[in-house]
Structure 1
Amino acid sequence: MWSLLFIPLGALVGALSGFFGIGGGVIIVPVLLFNGYTAAEAVATSLLFVVGTSLSGAKKHTSLGNVSWPTGVTIGLVGAVTAQLSSRLVLTISGTYDWLLNIFYLAILSYFAVTLLKKTSKPKPKRSPLLAGVTIGAVAGLLSALLGIGGGFLIVPLLVSWLGFSSHRAVGTSLAAVLFIALGGLAGYLPSLQLDYIVPAALLLGAFIGAPVGAALTGRYREKEISRRLGFLYIAVILSISLDLTAALWTPLSYASLAVLCLFLVAISVDFFKRVTQ
């Protein structure tokens, strides 16, 4: 019965996915690791969830005119191929060097948190859309299967800074790309793992409820507001992972790690409610 608690979690994280253009793995993976999953199990389960959030969110954003499908498909197909490579790496080191994944994750998130929160004017696009899409897809795919995320946390800021996309269009296009990337990552995991599919099913049920809601909410925020809130999400995840890494020294820190994510979910839920009722 405890698995049913993952339905509201999936709905809330699904709303964040539709709003930010991410798969939701940045929150799902730490929660699963806290519940005793190995790195490989957490990543594979998260990718199943990401497929649901990206599919539902991309569908809603398409109806809102926020998806550049040529760019999204380019990023997604390239990412699906490179995701195969990193899934093999995770299966090799899972259970032995999980801490290395966390440290790498911290470095990547820290860079993009600073990028999103810096007050700089949006640069003009100077790159070939095709070359930029291939590059973004290659990197996003590697990180996706490596960390159990869809790659949206990387795709959204790069679409804005490299190709001059608006935040709303970057979010929608990112979700389209993430769908292909997550499917590619899953293809590398499922033949090698025996998963309990009850938890992914509960998460997916919630995701199909929450993702369209989050996508619709983007219309109530300005571009800068979306970017800043995504930056704050990254900071919350950074704090959570940092606490989790030091939990070996003092066990209660693992509970503090989960509390940080819960506080962010509560804060963003209140923010969404206030914006809807304005």
Structure 2
Amino acid sequence: MTIYLPIAELSVNVLIILGMGAAVGFLSGMFGVGGGFLITPLLIFYNIPPVVAVATGANQVVASSISGAITHFRRGTIDIKLGTVLLLGGLAGATLGIWIFAALRRIGQLDLVISLAYVLLLGSVGSLMLAESISALRRAKRNETMPLRRPGHHGWIHRLPLKVRFKKSKIYLSIIPVAGLGFCIGILTSVMGVGGGFIMVPAMIYLLRIPTNVVVGTSLFQIIFVSAYTVIVQATANYTVDIVLAFVLMIAGVIGAQYGVRVGQKLRGEQLRALLALLVLAVGIRLAVELVLPPADIYSVISSGSGF
């Protein structure tokens, strides 16, 4: 069963697209990530043009994140105040990222930049996460605990000004690193079509020292609004959002996310991080292989628009 995608200008198997959306939605709910780091490469692997994959993938991120965030909201595991600070930084970053996206598209380097950025980002983040997860699993096996900081000893982040007390997360922290993290995620969302949860979740846990039980829901809260903003601007300014593709992905993603949340609640934090790290690395390796292998079609026909 095939459907035609008007913006991507090709026909695709709707069952494959539904499967992609459901799988990414499941992972979104289980890991607390938007899923864009996975859906965008999957769409590219399926021959969807990268510019369309990035913009449309962000739409699926919104759907999956909403579904997962609703569940976390009901359980009271979202820090709205912290999420709002992340959101403000994210909107600013997304605005800059959309400008970068348009500039790269004009000079014809967008596809290459997207692929290279994914390989570098997923490879580095996945490697760091996997190393930490293996270390945590070993400590858990030996019944060891992670060394705690000495009382009164704080890193440079805790010495920054403009501190605010986030009661839900039980932390007293400057809004500068929080907004800065949101800003960086906003750029990634608009340029690469990712929700950014695979970076934001580890950063919130290890860098900002936010409790794990609040991190996932708060991450999804920020991802919803930044991704939605990106989709709207990409659709109106760059005309790269394929509504048909987005609708199919959205339906499947919402369903998959509900099941993902249930599974995620049954796994330990170390196990979740290890699985996410392996997934991130697998996608990065697959993209790297695509970059070095020769294309199947070396030559392509481009219409000049002259009528001949």
Number of aligned residues:
251
* Structure number with higher strand proportion: 2
1:171 lines up with 2:182 in the alignment? no
Q: Distance in 1 between matches of 2:271 and 2:214?
A: 14
RMSD between superposed Cα atoms in Å: 2.1
Residue in 2 aligned with 1:131? 176
Match status 1:113 vs 2:126: yes
Between 120-129 and 102-111, the greater mean CA deviation after superposition: 120-129
What's the offset of the Cα at 1:16? 0.1
Q: Does 1:33 align with 2:79?
A: no
Aligned residue number for residue 14 of structure 1: 25
Q: 1 CA distance for matches of 2:227 and 2:62?
A: 6
SS at 1:220 equivalent: coil
Query: Structure 2: 5+ residue runs without aligned partners?
Result: 3-12, 137-145, 159-172, 298-308
Q: Which amino acid aligns with 2:19?
A: P
Question: Would the aligned equivalents of 1:168 and 1:223 in 2 still touch at CA under 8 Å?
Answer: no
After TM superposition, the structure 1 = structure 2 runs for residues 40-189 of structure 1, keeping only pairs within 5 Å, are 40-94=51-105, 95-117=108-130, 118=132, 119=135, 121=146, 126=155, 127=158, 128-189=173-234
Change in 2 beyond 3 A, CA 1:243/1:123: farther
CA contact (8 A) 1:26 1:149 kept: yes
| Counterpart amino acid of residue 25 in structure 1 | G
Q: Which runs of 4+ in 1 moved over 4 A?
A: 122-126
In the alignment, structure 1 segments of 5+ residues that lack a partner are 253-278
| Structure 2 equivalent of residue 274 of structure 1 | none
Which one-letter code corresponds to 2:25 in the other structure?
G
TM-score, length basis structure 2? 0.75
Q: Give 1:241 deviation, angstroms.
A: 0.9
Using the TM superposition, give the Cα deviation of residue 221 of structure 1 relative to its aligned residue in structure 2, in angstroms.
0.7
Cα offset for 1:164? 2.1
Residue 287 (structure 2) aligns with:
241
CA distance in 2, matches of 1:194, 1:235: 28
- What is the deviation of 1:42? 1.1
**Partner residue of 1:218 out of 264, 273, 276:** 264
* Amino acid of the structure 1 residue aligned with 2:258: P
Q: What is residue 277 of structure 2 aligned with on the other side?
A: 231
Structure 2 Cα separation of the partners of residues 116 and 137 of structure 1: 20
Query: In structure 2, what is the Cα distance between the partners aligned to 1:223 and 1:130?
Result: 26
Cα gap change, 1:129 to 1:229, in 2 (>3 Å): farther
Assess if the C-alpha contact under 8 Å between 2:201 and 2:215 holds in 1.
yes
Verify the 8 A CA contact 1:46 1:149 in the aligned structure 2: yes
**Preserved contact between residue 79 and residue 137 of structure 1 (Cα < 8 Å):** yes
Aligned residues of 1:61 and 1:172 also touching (Cα < 8 A) = yes
Determine whether 1:202 maps to 2:248. Answer: yes
- Checking the alignment, whether the CA contact within 8 Å between 2:34 and 2:64 is kept in structure 1 is yes
Higher fraction of helix: 1
State the Cα distance separating 1:129 from its structure 2 match. 4.8
Residue 3 and residue 129 in structure 1: after superposition, are their counterparts in 2 closer, same or farther (change >3 A)? farther
Separation in 2 of the partners of 1:233 and 1:166? 23
* TM norm structure 1: 0.83
